[in-house]
Amino acid sequence: MPPTLRPAIPADSPTVEAIVQSAYAPYIARIGRKPGPMLDNYPALIAEGRVQLLQDGTETLGVLVLIPQPDAMLLDNVALHPSAQGRGLGRLLLNAAEQAARNAGYTTIRLYTHVMMTENIALYTRLGYHETHRAEEHGLHRVYMSKPLSLTNPKTKSR
């Protein structure tokens, strides 16, 4: 059975935080501080209904945080436990984020990543995201990216 997504509940907060901490820990040395997702308030995000968990049976493999904005869906965080990385699950989460944005009626999805997370920038570029700008926020040097979304099912041909 393939992994599934489900909304996080308050009791999931420690699991969410543990996955985020383990997923982003390797970047601390590279950027010289904790990445932004390691500083987020996950109990509040869960209470707002913004967090989804990727599960394989009872094992939680990943976290997806989506924040609706007036003109686009913000893909605020996608994180996989290190043991789940390299299996295509990150792409599964990105596809789920894009579909959730479409389902909510958005034609654009946005994200940002740290300028030093070059492999993320390359991945997002390969997946159709384009850089819109760079900025420093909260002492973090971020690359902002955007991707246009079709509201039609990409597997069907439009007439």
Task: Render pLDDT for 66-80 as a digit per residue (tens, 0 to 9).
Answer: 999 999 999 999 999
Domains of the chain: residue spans and CATH? 4-148 (3.40.630.30)
- This prediction has a pTM of 0.90
Task: Render pLDDT for 108-133 as a digit per residue (tens, 0 to 9).
Answer: 999 999 999 998 999 999 999 999 99
What's the token pair of residue 135?
Answer: 């900025």
User: What burial letters (b/e) apply to 66-95, b meaning 16+ CB within 10 Å?
Assistant: beeeeebbbbbbbbbbeebeeeebbebbbe
Task: Render pLDDT for 36-54 as a digit per residue (tens, 0 to 9).
Answer: 999 999 999 999 999 999 9
The β-bridge partners of 112 are 144
